[in-house]
A and B are shown apart, each in its own frame.
Chain A
Amino acid sequence: MSRRRRIRSTFVAALRAFIRRKTAVFFTFFFPILIILIFGALVRTQPTGGLFAREPAYYIPGYLGVVVVFTPLSRVGSTIARHRDGNRFEKLATTPLRRWEWLLAHTLVNVAIIGLAALILFVLVLGVTGANVVVGPLLLVLVPLVVAGVALFCGLGAIIGRVASSQDGVIAVSNAVAFPVWVLSETFVPPSMLPAWFRSVTAFSPLTYFSRGVRAAATGSDPTVATLVLAALSLAVFVVGALAVPRTE
């Protein structure tokens, strides 16, 4: 009961602190919409070849991946940097709040924000790019996939926040990590277009399993394996991320 109270209190404070930053809220939703408009509406798929040669539904994981990767990485990382600058962890260390409880509360905030953003993006992708999905129970697997993806990148964001010494450093490292992960995890570039040696590298990217799971769920294939692998990776990275949340100087 008291654990739930601590997590809820931290969640409410973090959510309020975020939604009152209107610029951050605007760009959290605007940036992925911009990506859809650029790639989905302007570039469009090119059946004759090129980078966007697949059917529009192939790129759904890429569009969702924008919010699943970029937002938690930079948000949790910079939140940790801000907490450290303001000596907030020093204070929290003397309260009953555990590190994993802090990270869970902030992960839930990200799940709420990114869940909403992902829903908007999904509808927009269908409307703007003409992507066809198989509507059925498997589509609901998108929910745990997004939750697991967000939790994983929140954990990674916590690790980056611990390692980087400032908010600027967090943003730089987040972008350096997020961009290649986002592009090269079977999102926009099909494995067949990559060098053979690089295909095995993509297997080490957790977003690859997010992509496979989302693509399977959207097209009516079985997403179980990808979802389970992503969930296991998510749990592992979350635990490491929780240990990375600063407690002492």
Chain B
Amino acid sequence: MSEAETGAGAALVAEGVSKRYGDTVALDGVSLSIPAGEVFGLVGPNGAGKTTLVRALTGTTRCEGSIGVLGAAPNAVDAQRVGLLPQSFNPADRLTARELIAYYAGLYDEARPVAAVLDDVGLADDADTWYENLSGGQRRRACVGTALVNDPDVLFLDEPTTGIDPAGRRALWGLVDDLAAGGTTVLLTSHSMAEVERLADRVGLLRDGSLVAVGSPAELIADHGGDSRLLVDGADVDAAAVATALDAEVGERDGRLVVRNVSLAQVGELVADLEAAGVDFDSFTWAEPSLEDVYLRLTGETMADVDAGETVDAEVEAGR
């Protein structure tokens, strides 16, 4: 038995997990430990390895390294204790939502009542509609329901809210909250940073098969999110005048002037300074760094934008 399989207190443990598809590296020595009861968000660009890691943890793909799920190898763990919503899951389309949930419930020795699962995913009123006639969001909720029928201790949700409208998404968020409150360990992947920031106790960021950062959303934002910013808008607003009025470095991004490292308490004072200096501006916005800033910074997806902003900063500074 490997060390990962005996990881005390951890619901999920991965040590040095690697996976290649030919010359392509899907996972490159990923190590991870997720305590029981934690909601862990896995983010990263398309092709970063999120789904491959979920497959490795659920034993549906072979990989190098060692993995423990509830103290056992993925293929040896009690299936009654694990739930999975695969990415792009597409069940039989001519079953009703009720029949679909009942089918998966029938695969377990102990299953939750079908009506309760339908209620949880908000499909009680459409329970007798064929899957193919449900809306995209309702379909996804039915699919989530199939992962909940066995009341799992560990739940894998691979992009659970893809295609779901905001109301449906919030309903599912509430469901994940309830599951977490009940002690279920949840690993979810998502492209929505707001979703992960809202749900996850900790977040792991995958890039090119490597886990480049792990921490709570607050920790990641503090470490990698950059400064809070005051954004100043106006057709005729002059960068040099703003820089002079605030005695600060001023950058520009997307047609707006950016003053970095401004706390919320300073905003009133700075706006008063702008007005006192007669700077002509239309509006201002104060923005905190978010998980999305962390994502963009660590994945390098918008490095060009960041560089462009920093270049303007330098030019403005040089012009003063």
Contacts and interface: CB of A to CB of B under 8 A. Distances in A.
20 contacts: A9-B102, A9-B106, A10-B103, A12-B106, A13-B103, A14-B92, A16-B94, A20-B94, A87-B87, A90-B89, A91-B84, A91-B85, A91-B89, A91-B147, A92-B107, A94-B84, A95-B150, A96-B109, A249-B55, A249-B61
Contacts of A249: 55, 60-61
B312 to A, nearest CB: 46
B50 to A, nearest CB: 14
Interface string B253-287: 00000000000000000000000000000000000
B8 to A, nearest CB: 24
- Chief secondary structure at chain A's binding surface: helix
Contacts of A91: 84-86, 89, 146-147
B99 interface: yes
A20 B87 CA distance: 26
A6 interface: yes
Contacts of A9: 102-103, 105-107
B103 A94 contact: no
Interface in A6-35: 6, 8-10, 12-14, 16-17, 20-21
A139 interface: no
Contacts of B94: 16-17, 20-21
A192 interface: no
A6 B95 contact: no
Contact of B79 (A13, A21, A95, A247): A95
Contacts of A93: 58-60
B82 interface: yes
B135 interface: no
Given A16-B95, A93-B58, 9 more contacts: A13-B95, A16-B94, A20-B94, A86-B91, A87-B90, A91-B89, A91-B146, A95-B108, A249-B60
Interface residues of B, number: 36
Interface residues of A, number: 28
A12 B31 CA distance: 42
A14 B59 CA distance: 25
Interface in A202-229: none
Interface of A: 2, 5-6, 8-10, 12-14, 16-17, 20-21, 85-88, 90-97, 247-249
Interface of B: 55, 58-62, 79-80, 82-92, 94-95, 99-100, 102-109, 130, 146-147, 150, 156
A85 B90 contact: yes
Given A86-B90, A94-B84, A247 B60 contact: yes
B286 to A, nearest CB: 43
A6 B107 contact: yes
A16 B84 CA distance: 24
Contact of B60 (A2, A86, A90): A90
A14 B60 CA distance: 23
